[in-house]
Amino acid sequence: MQKLEVSGANKLKGQINISGSKNASLPILAATLLSDKKVYLNNLPKVKDIETMINLLKSLGSITKFNKKNLIIDNYKQNKKFASYNLVKTMRAGILVLGPLLAKFGNAKVSLPGGCAIGTRPVDIHLKSLSKLGVKYKIIQGYVHATAPKGLIGSKIHFSKISVGATENLIIASTLAKGTTVLNNCAIEPEVKDLVNFLIKMGCNLKWVAKRSLKIVGVNQINETSYSVMFDRIEAGTYLIAAAVTEGNLKIKNVIPKIIQTEINILKKIGMKINTKKNEIHIIGNKKIKNINIKTSPYPGFPTDLQAQIMVLLCKGNKKSLIKEDIFENRFMHVAELNRMGAKISIKANKALVEGNTKFAAAELMATDLRASVSLILAALTTKGKSVINRIYHLDRGYENIEKKLKKVGAKIRRVN
Ligand code: EPZ
């Protein structure tokens, strides 16, 4: 099992280039199943989850190969409809192949993803909404057996709860359905918008008709397509917080600042100096960190995927801060580890009360999920001693070259077996 050794307390200085978005790449990769033509995808991040999704596509019969810049996916022979548990269990977004397989073949057998450290992660909204397109499904031994005897038929669907994955699954499924589908109460995360832009490029007919409403008219022709995936806004937010927590001075490149305006505004309120250019954010940390209360919510609110990271920063605030986790039922797994480093964080239901003025102390730590692991790195970067972070396979699922990027801006970090 690999570990990370991290010794602070250098101020991070320099420039970090942001990679492509994991959470935009995953639904876009699933959507390539709709096509029987070649798809060229650029700017995919080299992270474990993307590798797993590509393996899942290959298990379904896709032919994939990397040339220097692009992943080329050819589905002219793709005809399998079975997504196995051993691939879907490690990467929950595997459920996103259900929509395209039903759209293309009218039947599919896809493993339920199961839960993870942050919650039970049900897919009831995906399944209930698909049944509105004429899908019949049964759950047998952990697999969804789904069929659409008359093919998918366009319909009007209102999501009972804002769900990124359910929105993405239904968008993809509706693109080949007969007639028109209107999806209401959609998630509007930038990654959902990136998926829509990709599908339009593939020749599908989609239009945002209101803030959270999308109209999709089924097509039966898909073009050969090339597409470059958007930047990873959670990676960008993570490095902004890394600069803030180490009183550093970082330039974050390959980003669209307005997409993370909520995060930028909050960091400014906490006391950071931030200037933005077209594709760059320049942040200068501040010794004095103000406290602030934060609630995670669907986009454009503060993202749950940055909750663990901002918690580390607020530990160094001048007063108490309250963080409310409104998206997942168990996303405070990082708190116990941060408290072992000297933080004083108490949890009551989905609220964490964070004492300020924490001086973190180095410790041996355990990562539990992707974003919790990176919050441990942030805390370790602020303290002189050497911390050791175990189970960093969580980290490798979603952060491309994190040690290299951090080392380049002055962090003392190395991976040991
Ligand atoms: C996506 O997960 C992201 N993953 C998550 O990022 C992110 O935290 C989440 O959206 C929220 O923004 C990918 O895009 C691959 P949801 P998803 O459906 O789609 C409940 C990361 O760290 N729900 O919007 O699974 C669900 O339990 C990951 O990169 C149902 O009840 O999230 C949760 O409480 C972690 N029934 C809430 O809705 C359903 O059928 C939001 O989940 C679906 C979801």
Check residue 121 and give its pLDDT.
Answer: 79
Mean pLDDT within 290-300: 98
pLDDT greater than 80 at residue 385: yes
Query: Which atom in ligand 1 lies closest to the alpha carbon of residue 125?
Result: 40
| Residue 120 pLDDT exceeds 80 | no
Q: In ligand 1, which atom is closest to the CA atom of 370?
A: 22
**Is residue 349 classed as helix, strand or coil in its secondary structure?**
coil
Average pLDDT rounded to a whole number, residues 221-229: 95
Structure confidence at residue 270 (pLDDT): 97
| Range 124-149 average pLDDT | 96
Residue 213: the pLDDT is 98
Residue 328 corresponds to which tokens in the numbers above? 């997942």
| Tokens (6 digits) for 351 | 């609220």
The Cα 29–Cα 185 span in angstroms is 24
Spatial contact of 174 and 133, defined as CB atoms under 8 Å apart: yes
Q: Is 186 a catalytic residue?
A: no
pLDDT (0 to 100) of residue 191: 98
pLDDT score, position 210: 98
Span of 40-44, 67-71, 156-160 with lowest mean pLDDT: 67-71
With beta carbons less than 8 A apart as the criterion, state whether 169 and 96 touch.
yes
Residue in 47, 121, 295 to alter for ligand 1 test, most ligand atoms within 8 A of Cβ: 121
* Cα 165 to middle of ligand 1, angstroms: 6
Contacts of residue 234, Cβ cutoff 8 Å, sequence gap at least 6: 21, 22, 23, 303, 305, 306, 371, 398
Q: What is the mean pLDDT of residues 141-168?
A: 96
Q: What is the mean pLDDT of the chain?
A: 96
Q: How far apart are CA 253 and CA 281, in angstroms?
A: 7
pLDDT tens by residue, 14-62: 999 999 999 999 999 999 999 999 999 999 999 999 999 999 999 999 9
Domains in the chain, CATH or no CATH each: 3-19+231-416 (3.65.10.10), 22-228 (3.65.10.10)
Distance CA 343, CA 369 (A): 19
List, for residues 330-345, the tens digit of each pLDDT value.
899 999 999 999 999 9
Amino acid letter, 128: K
pLDDT at residue 70, rounded to an integer = 92
Please choose, from the candidates 334, 340, 336, 341, the residue with its C-alpha nearest in 3D space to the C-alpha of residue 380.
341
Range 182-194 average pLDDT: 98
Q: Which residues of 194-207 are buried (b: 16+ CB within 10 A; e: fewer)?
A: bbbebbeebbbebe
What pLDDT is attached to residue 90?
A: 83
pLDDT at res. 118:
77
Q: Tokens at residue 270, please?
A: 């906490």
Nearest CA to ligand 1 atom 28: 305
- At 182, the pLDDT band (50, 70, 90 cuts) reads very high
Residue 222 has pLDDT above 90, yes or no: yes
Which residue's CA lies nearest to atom 14 of ligand 1? 23
- Determine which residue's CA is closest to atom 15 belonging to ligand 1: 23
The pLDDT confidence band at residue 323, using thresholds 50, 70 and 90, is very high
pLDDT for 119 equals 79
**Percent of all residues in the chain with a pLDDT value above 70, rounded to a whole number:** 100
Residue 311 has pLDDT above 90, yes or no: yes
Pairing, β 38-42 against β 70-74: antiparallel
Q: Whose CA is nearest to atom 43 of ligand 1?
A: 123
